[in-house]
Amino acid sequence: MASFKRSDGRKVNELRPMTAKVGVVPNADGSALFAFGDTIAIAAVYGPRLLHPQHMQDPKQATLRVNYDLLSFSVYDRKKPGPSRRSQEISKMTEYALSPVLDLKEFPSTVIDVQIYILQADAGTRTAGINAASMALAHAGLPMKNLVCSVAIGKQDTTVVADLTKEEEDFHEGEGATDFPLAKIANSDQFTLVQLDGNIATELVAEVLEMANETCAEVYEVQKKALKAGATQ
């Protein structure tokens, strides 16, 4: 591991520089920006508000509705406008990642809409989006058990690394690259999202989870600092 060199010079467990702030969408009930290096996500929260049409309402709790999308200019290969199968899948995974920290039963028959837009993409877009959305929900004043922190752990050949870039995601030498997006409730052992794109040896999974715990703690500190700064403005 000591001889392993990442293309951008980072240590195997080192995240890209993080940027976070709240209040970036003035007309939203809560909003936030979160960036890992060149990957920039913004999230805006609207609600809770009455869900229409009425037959879609859940009389026992609020409906969390997430929409994740890459803006067409966010990637080098210009994407077609509108939702794709991938964006719909990430939207649903983000709902699963965020739901455990929200008390949805407090707002029956309503909807909480979370809009996530990727302004610039260099891998790790779903994790940046989850971090931004978690902050935006807190900024909206919704009751939450804690923040959700998210990071992608990957593998370059046989070496486990944190927060892959697009170049690292496209690594094809040796055993190739593996992307392991994870999300967890801050200050807990509860993971709310575990996905795997690629292959990884069973004996490396414990190393992945340990690195996720360490790096999510760093993400949490950045999120918390941004929320405190926003509260004083």
Q: Which residues contact 27 (CB under 8 A, 6 or more apart)?
A: none
Write down the pLDDT at residue 219. 98
Say yes or no to pLDDT of 107 above 60: yes
HSE, CB side, 13 Å, CA atoms: give it for residue 77.
1
Q: What is the pLDDT of residue 206?
A: 92
DSSP codes, 174-195: TT-EEEEEEEEETTSS-EEEE-
By CB neighbour count within 10 A (0-12 exposed, 13-18 middle, 19+ buried), where does 28 fall? buried
Question: Is pLDDT of 233 > 90?
Answer: no
Report the chain's mean pLDDT, rounded to a whole number: 90
Helix (H) or strand (E) holding 154: strand 148-156
Supply 189's token pair: 């052992």
pLDDT of residue 2: 45
**SS3 at position 111:** strand
Give the dihedral sign, CA 99/104/109/111.
Answer: negative
Residue type, 79: K
Strands 63-70 and 110-120, sheet pairing = parallel
Residue range 142-167, pLDDT digits in tens: 999 999 999 999 888 788 999 999 88
User: Can you give the pLDDT at residue 1?
Assistant: 41
- pLDDT higher than 70, residue 14: yes
- pLDDT confidence of residue 77: 47
CATH number of 18-231: 3.30.230.70
Mean pLDDT of 196-213: 89
Between CA 141 and CA 150, with CA 147 as vertex, the angle to 5 degrees is 135
Which among 207, 205, 227 has a CA at the least distance from the CA of 141?
227
**Percent above pLDDT 90 for the chain:** 69
Query: Does pLDDT of 27 surpass 90?
Result: yes
Give pLDDT tens digits for 130-144. Answer: 999 999 999 999 999
pLDDT tens-digit series, residues 53-102? 888 888 899 999 999 998 865 454 445 555 678 889 999 999 999 999 99
Q: Any residues with CB less than 8 A from the CB of 26 and at least 6 apart, and which?
A: none
3-class SS of residue 18: strand
Above pLDDT 70, what percent of the chain?
Answer: 90
